[in-house]
Every structure is written in C-alpha cells, then in structure tokens.
Amino acid sequence: MTNETNSVAKTSNKPTHYAYCVRENSEKKSAMWLIVGAAWPHKSGRGFNIELESVPLSGRIVLLNASEKRK
C-alpha cells in the first residue's frame, strides 16, 4: 500500500454503503442479491474506500446506502 492509501482512514466503524452482486434470473424474472462488501467515505469526502469479500464473475456490483433496503 502507498502512504496515500494508508493516510485515508475510515470516518466510522460502520460502513455508509454496502456492495451487492446482482445476478438476473430470466426464468423467474427476478434478481438474486448477494452482499459482497462495504464502503466508507474518505475524510476529504471526495471518494470511498471499498472492501470486497468477493468479486463476481458475472452480474453487476451495486453500491447502496447502508440505510436503504435492497430492492
């Protein structure tokens, strides 16, 4: 890690956003949502630190406010 990365600290222990992997299911006309990580804003407010537990091979990653419920 660089010094720049190390100097950016989380502003809170709780994440402000959660990352979900969303995979469409065409047969059921629905989507499967799986939480794969979380995000915290930089102190400067100009970006986010994102920690992913896994990276999907298919589907998309959706980042939602922690206070929002997934759809």
The 10s digit of each residue's pLDDT in 1-49 is 343 443 344 455 889 999 999 998 878 778 889 999 999 999 898 999 9
The 10s digit of each residue's pLDDT in 38-48 is 999 998 989 99
pTM, entire model: 0.70
The answer to whether the CB of 62 falls within 8 A of the CB of 20 is: yes
Residue 67, pLDDT score: 86
- Residue 8 belongs to some domain of the structure: no
Q: How confident is the model at residue 70 (pLDDT cuts 50, 70, 90)?
A: low
Cα four-point dihedral sign 10, 11, 12, 18 = negative
Domain limits at 54? 14-65
- Residue 7 belongs to some domain of the structure: no
- Residue 70 belongs to some domain of the structure: no
Q: How many domains is the chain partitioned into structurally?
A: 1
Mention every residue, 6+ apart, whose C-beta is less than 8 A from residue 26.
none
